[in-house]
Structure 1
Amino acid sequence: MGNPDEIFQQLKKILTPYASEMDVVTDTPDNYYLNTHHVMKNKKPTYFGSVKISKNYISFHLMPVYVFPDLLETITPELKKRMQGKSCFNFKTEDTKLFQQLKALTQAGYEKYEDTGYL
């Protein structure tokens, strides 16, 4: 596996531009977690995304792709291979090309949340 801390920092940079619009729930050296200000029917805030270092990989969770699966219609097969479940992408090495795609997907997800009133 590549340097987990470096991979984590690269993935965290994808989420940090949205932090001023959301609540930073966790910001530790191995976990970064964002919620929106929108409160759901269960009285909990809407989850947006997170990055976490696990034992075997660094995971990037992006809830808008779960809420709006149509966001995944345009992702590349290479990024699709990194998916685990419906909203998680796992990485063991840095991949600038895939990180750029994930950045664009995150922006699209943010815009969908914004349009729907989830922010």
Structure 2
Amino acid sequence: MSEREAVFEALRALMLHHSDGLDVRRDQPGDLVVRTRQPDAKGQPGWFGTVTARKSYVAFHLPPLYDHPALAEALSDELERRRQGKTCFNFKALEPAVLDELAALTERVRAAVDGA
């Protein structure tokens, strides 16, 4: 298994761990899509998260951070360096402390989505 595949599998497991009761729309090699059961402004299921393997990294998206930016205000420098935009975090390697922090952030996002 390549490093990128190992990173994808770790991030996929993290996302799925926090997706109980949500709608896993796609779960295939290199691509995981999880939607909420709450409708968005267009009446479609809202976005919870995605994990996508790219050519040289794996992207972990938490779209609810658009609506709840305060949940990501106190990120460590290590996680902040992986942040692209408001909701995406890119990974090339597994770093347990950073993954633990990402898991805690994902848990906070899930609580915010459940409370919405």
Instruction: State the TM bucket, normalised to the shorter chain.
Output: over 0.9
Asked if 1:88 corresponds to 2:91, the answer is: no
Aligned equivalents of 2:41, 2:48: Cα separation in 1? 16
Percent sequence identity over aligned pairs? 31
CA RMSD in angstroms comes to 1.2
Instruction: Judging by fraction of residues, say which structure has more helix.
Output: 1
Distance in 1 separating the partners of 2:54 and 2:41 = 31
The alignment's TM-score, normalised by the length of structure 2, stands at: 0.93
Q: Distance in 1 between matches of 2:27 and 2:97?
A: 25
Q: 5+ residue gaps in structure 1? A: none
Partner of 2:53: 53
Separation in 1 of the partners of 2:112 and 2:104?
12
Q: 1:25 to 1:6 in 2, by over 3 A?
A: same
- List aligned pairs for 1:55-74, cutoff 5 A: 55-74=55-74
Give the corresponding residue for 2:114. Answer: 114
- Within 2, Cα distance between the matches of 1:114 and 1:20? 11
Structure 2 gaps of 5+ residues are none
Instruction: Give the stretch that moved more between structures: 65-74 or 99-108.
Output: 65-74
Report if aligned partners of 2:34, 2:48 keep a CA contact under 8 Å in 1. Answer: yes
Q: Which residue of 1 aligns with 2:36?
A: 36
Q: Name 2:23's counterpart in structure 1.
A: 23
TM-score by length of 1: 0.91
